[in-house]
Amino acid sequence: MIKHHGNNHRELSLAHGTLHVFANDEVFASLEQRVYDMADNNLRIPRNVYMSYTPDAHVGVGTCIGTTAVWNMKDGFVSPSIVGSDIGCGMRVHLTPLTKADIQSKSLRREMIESIEKYVPVNERQSSSYSDIEVEKVVTEGIEGLPVSYIPDEKPSKKSRSLTHVEHAKFKFDKDYLSDVSDKVWARAWQTIGTLGGGNHFVEIQTLEINEAKRDIAAKWGMFDGQVVVMIHSGSRAWGGMMGKQYTRDFRNAMDLWGIENPDPTLVYAPIQSAEGQRYINLMYSALNYAVVNRHMIAFGVRQGLKDVFGSALEMPVLYDLMHNYALQEFHRNRAMLVHRKGTTRALPAGHFLNAKPYKETGHPALIPGSMGTASYIMVGEKAGEKNFYSICHGAGRVRSRKATKQVVTIDQFAQSMRVGTEEEIMVNQRTLRDILDECPQAYKDVDQIIDSVVGAGLASVVAKCHPMAVIKGI
């Protein structure tokens, strides 16, 4: 049974609970039955408070990407499957003083790409070059654990923009749980700080098109029409990867001992207050620290590369950094709740107490990537987002698997979507499009329809549309 609330909001009664779906008619009609089967499996987890899909929802492991799921801290559950394997994966945007006209030359954009690649490892076989960064300080202190030399603000301090213009610069947790981490993981984690990673991770050079209705907010954020910005998408790399595998096994073993069954063997969960739940939550927070530092250090490398091209005076202040794969304790309805967001982005409105201090007045930037070759968006949350625990989409969302994409999309189609051979070509770092075919725009939903769904639901508004000019992908 479907209950229509209007404004792209539907409430579906499934066998084991209620699922809210935020999507316009076109996107809703495209959702396959399997996403509802996965939702029903998730709703078998006891005492669920709320569960929803954003319009970019698509099948994942155990849980769909695009899921928000909430339990009370007092008697609820935590699920690594509803966090995702890349814990802390998220977005970061930096502003520059450059304009589109400054980088219109294709040869200059190629130079920018090559210069950035000198500082940002994009191949899985490459390791980090930051030998003076201590992993233990990174996972316990977040950005605050970095040497001062990597905080590029004029006066590194507690008021540094690098520490204030982020969703969280540091997550606190019980450090005793770090004793469970193997020496192998510690060593590998050191090698991946400041590295991009493969899959859908990227560094993208974009230009802004400001939404006239939000021009005042854009100005307060330091944004203007035609401005060049840098968008970064990456996560917790080796540190989070370790947890995804290890603790899925631990949870599955515990569920077997407790006699808990679910039709989906890849969906694991445990009570928040259990030993397994507490171990996972605490180490998950360590991975969130690693993830925000990793994006910070990728941005540091991008800055160095662009300084080599445009001169040492170039400034590249961070606009915002946020996550879209995590479970976070938040206060809603006067209660402490654990809000899982797997491929969903928190978008707080103006005045909300959880906003980072610089964004209390306006609400913070919500960073929504498109797909290579299409626009991305910078949004701001609206008060009506409260109905969805202030969650919006995290991107376009895949419409077909990597394998299926390679089977149905041709190189010529990919090249056409990237406008190869024209003056408006979107430059890429990979020497052949075949290497990144599974990440082509045709692999994803129409991002404009996704944004239309979110705006129509009243969850958030567009502040700026970001047009790609150069893309750096990892392999």
Q: Is 456 annotated as a binding residue?
A: no
Give first-to-last CA distance, the chain, whole Å. 44
- Decide if 199 contacts 466 (C-beta within 8 A): no
Q: Is 296 a catalytic residue?
A: no
Is 216 labeled as ligand-binding? Answer: no
Residue 173 counted as an annotated binding residue: no
DSSP 293-362: HHHHHHHHHHHHHHHHHH-TT----EEEEEESEEEEEEEETTEEEEEEEESEEE-PPTT-TTS-GGGTTT
Q: Any known ligand binding at 371?
A: yes
Contact 445, 397 (CB under 8 A): yes
The answer on whether 467 is annotated among ligand-binding residues is: no
118 CB burial (10 A radius; 0-12, 13-18, 19+): exposed
Residues 6+ apart with CB under 8 A from 183: none
Alpha helices in 221-274 (DSSP H): 237-258
Place of tokens 């996550």: 323
Residue 271 marked in a binding site = no
CB 440 within 8 A of CB 8: no
Annotation-wise, does 144 bind a ligand?
Answer: no
Q: Is 203 one of the annotated binding-site residues?
A: yes
- Give the span between the Cα atoms of 351 and 217, in whole angstroms: 14
Q: Is 94 annotated as a binding residue?
A: no
- Determine whether the annotation assigns residue 167 to a binding site: no
Residue 160 among known ligand-binding residues: no
- 202 annotated as belonging to a binding site for a ligand: yes
Do the annotations mark residue 155 as ligand-binding? no
CB 459 within 8 A of CB 344: no
> Measuring CA to CA, how many Å separate 306 from each of 93, 269, 316, 317, 410?
15, 44, 9, 13, 33
| Identified catalytic residue from 58, 352, 394, 467 | 394
Is 120 among the annotated ligand-binding positions? no
- Helix 237-258 to helix 183-191 angle (10° resolution) is 150
> Does the annotation place 332 within a ligand binding site?
no
Question: Is residue 233 marked as binding?
Answer: yes
Give 444's DSSP letter: B
* Positions at the binding site for GMP: 200-204, 324-325, 369-372, 376, 394-397, 473
* Positions at the binding site: 86, 200-204, 233, 324-325, 369-372, 376, 394-397, 473
* Positions at the binding site for Mn(2+): 86, 201, 233, 324
User: Which residues form the catalytic set?
Assistant: 394
